C-alpha cells in the first residue's frame, strides 16, 4: 500500500505537527506501507502485537525507496525489518542497522488518534 498524504498537519498544544496517514485497521500486521508526508517517504509498520513504527523508506545500502517492502520480524526481542534488496536488518525502534551500527534509517513519531494513524515529521 502506498499513501500520498496531502492533508494539513494537526498541531498539538506542544507544537508537534501530526499528519493523518490512514485508518489503523488499514495496516496489515507484519506488512509495510509507504507514505509520502511533507516530502519524506516513510515506511509504516504494524506488528502482530499492535505496535506501530515509522522509519525512513530509503534503504541506505542500495539507495532504493523499498524499506516498506521489507520482511518484518524480530531479532531477540527487537522488532526489525530486513531490507528487501540486501537483507540488512534494521531496528524498527531505533532505525539502527543491526549488522552495521554506523548506518541507520530515520525514525518518526507515530501514534493512533481516533482510530487514525498519524505521523510527525517536524
- CATH assignment at residue 21: 2.102.10.10
| pTM, two decimal places | 0.86
CB 87 within 8 A of CB 33: no
- How many CB atoms sit inside 10 A of residue 69's CB? 18
User: pLDDT 10s per residue in the chain (122 long)?
Assistant: 555 555 555 554 455 789 999 999 999 999 999 999 999 999 999 999 999 999 999 999 999 999 999 999 999 999 999 999 999 999 999 999 999 999 999 999 999 999 999 999 87
Instruction: Sort 90 into a burial class: Cβ within 10 Å, 0-12 / 13-18 / 19+.
Output: buried
Residue 115 lies in domain: 2-119
Residues 6+ apart with CB under 8 A from 3: 21, 22, 33, 34, 35, 36
Q: How many domains does the structure of the chain reveal?
A: 1
Q: What is the DSSP letter of 24?
A: G
Amino acid at each position: 500500500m502506498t499513501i500520498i498524504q496531502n492533508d494539513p498537519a494537526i498541531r498539538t498544544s506542544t507544537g508537534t505537527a501530526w499528519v493523518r496517514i490512514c485508518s489503523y485497521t488499514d495496516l496489515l500486521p507484519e506488512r509495510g506501507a509507504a507514505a509520502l508526508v511533507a516530502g519524506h517517504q516513510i515506511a509504516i509498520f504494524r506488528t502482530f502485537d499492535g505496535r506501530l513504527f515509522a522509519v525512513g523508506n530509503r534503504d541506505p545500502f542500495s539507495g532504493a525507496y523499498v524499506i516498506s517492502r521489507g520482511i518484518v520480524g524480530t531479532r531477540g526481542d527487537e522488532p526489525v525489518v530486513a531490507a528487501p534488496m540486501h537483507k540488512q536488518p534494521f531496528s524498527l525502534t531505533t532505525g539502527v542497522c543491526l549488522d552495521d551500527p554506523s548506518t541507520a534509517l530515520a525514525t518518526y513519531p507515530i501514534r493512533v488518534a481516533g482510530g487514525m494513524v498519524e505521523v510527525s515529521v517536524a
